[in-house]
Amino acid sequence: MALHCAALSFSCVSWNPQACGPSDQFPRSSSFLRKCSTINASAFSSPSPASFARFRYQGKALENGNRPIETDESSLVVCFGEMLIDFVPTTSGLSLSEAPAFKKAPGGAPANVAVGIARLGGTSAFIGKVGEDEFGYMLADILKENNVNNEGMRFDPGARTALAFVTLTKDGEREFMFYRNPSLSASFIQKNSTEKLPMVPEQTWPANQNLWRARISKVTEALTLVAIVSDHQLAVWWNHERDSGIRNKREPVGFGSRTDHRSRVEAGLRVLKDAEAKIFHYGSISLITEPCRSAHIAATKAAKDAGVILSYDPNLRLPLWPSAESAREGILSIWDTADIIKISVEEICFLTNGEDPYDDNVVRKLYHQNLKLLLVTEGPEGCRYYTKEFSGRVKGLKVDPVDTTGAGDAFVAGILSQLASDTSLFQNEDRLRDALRFANACGALTVTERGAIPALPTQETVLNAVLKLVA
């Protein structure tokens, strides 16, 4: 499964639509310019319209409609984990066997977040693995088309790209049936690590599998690569100082064609020059099986040691885990390392063995000592937030849901795109609330179309919807 990268972000300062111009540079269809006529204007309690006028573009300004101009600020969000194909029924309210047809849609929670950040004007990268097949190449191309850095993506000739068939109820809620090869691996890249990380212990696998180990290659004044490697596929670092063919750091490049991908795998990863991660985002699916679990743990440690903010969305998918208990144990095993955690009310129930997810005392049990921000999503009702200093609730936008797939990922993309360029949101409650209203709007707009990545909104679309709401 896989991860990505792109360019632009927010800060709660001032938004000037005349100066900024349109931001939807990479629409896959005109459907991205979705209408917001179904939004309920009473969704927010009492925010001032001016509170939403404080967003402005950062990282790039736009001139003549589409042409980007470099500015000083750029904050990279690296997303680690799975990328797959969702097959979404064309008719809601039917079982998989009754559905007359399915719409093919790229998805996978970390990949959704990476594309969501890019659509919102942020800078993102995706790292993960897919099969060496038609779907895998399609996913790599989709990342590239959406201005996400896909150079951390790997293709496995011995595995198939994962598929998920989605059942939609009449109100857009969904259930999943997964078709997934377990030989998932992943890699992580960070910049200028000064500490040599420990080797992940070798693990012996059944006779019909390869012997895998996680290796860490240290590069002075270049990049550190943490990767899963096998006895037939070695991962090596790429020193940018020796690379005379480096591309502009804003240009998305990656494995996109069958003719060149094998040589690139052998050569190693070519990562964007001088791209230093601000946030490392991940889920829990990469914890289910080895060797991906070891890669995940090594990657988070590398990021933590480098001072990168860790963002965790458990994204519970019980059918993928051996048992409910193993899912609970796996999700909580890395809980205390995260700086930001986003969780749903259903996941609170699961992790607390059925306690009331709307009880603040229950939620506070999940707040660990080093956590900067705990976010609880409540679907159309909005979200709750918890820090050491303050907590509260931000109401959501009311829309007519078509497909709720990707709503939580769009919410995460919305908040991370702003935190990446303005970490004062951790301390400033008013600005955090503004950012969460924006994130709520990202999630709400996503449910108005089928599929995850195809439905992710652009920055301009979200801002227009929010400004109309409070006008």
| Per-residue pLDDT band at 404 (split at 50, 70, 90) | confident
**In the predicted structure, residue 206 carries a pLDDT above the cut 70:** no
Q: What is the DSSP string of 194-219?
A: -SPPPPPPPB---TTS--BEEEEE--
**Rounded distance between C-alpha atoms, residue 196 and residue 263, angstroms:** 28
What is the C-alpha radius of gyration for the chain, rounded to an integer number of angstroms? 21
Give the pLDDT of residue 212. 25
| Per-residue pLDDT band at 166 (split at 50, 70, 90) | confident
What is the CB neighbour count within 10 angstroms for residue 316? 20
| Per-residue pLDDT band at 174 (split at 50, 70, 90) | low
Q: 58, 71 in Cβ contact below 8 A?
A: yes
Nearest residue to 331 (alpha-carbon basis) of 340, 317, 345: 317
**Residues 6 or more apart in contact with residue 223 via CB below 8 angstroms:** 189, 190, 191, 192, 237, 238, 239, 240, 269, 271
**Rounded distance between C-alpha atoms, residue 265 and residue 255, angstroms:** 9
Torsion angle in degrees (nearest 10) through CA of 216, 218, 223, 227: -10
Segment 28-69, tens digit of pLDDT: 322 222 222 222 222 223 344 334 434 433 333 333 333 332
| Per-residue pLDDT band at 172 (split at 50, 70, 90) | low
- For the chain, the domains span 76-83+107-158+218-229+261-470
**In the predicted structure, residue 143 carries a pLDDT above the cut 50:** yes
Percent of the chain exceeding pLDDT 90 equals 45
Q: Is CATH 3.40.1190.20 the classification given to domain 76-83+107-158+218-229+261-470?
A: yes
Give the pLDDT of residue 388. 95
Segment 287-319, tens digit of pLDDT: 998 888 998 999 899 899 989 999 999 999 888
Tokens of 322: 């051996």
286 burial via Cβ count (<10 Å: 0-12, 13-18, 19+)? buried
Give the pLDDT of residue 471. 60
Secondary structure (3-state) at 447 = coil
Give the pLDDT of residue 468. 74
**In the predicted structure, residue 79 carries a pLDDT above the cut 90:** yes
Nearest residue to 39 (alpha-carbon basis) of 403, 447, 317, 351: 447
Give the pLDDT of residue 169. 66
Give the pLDDT of residue 168. 65
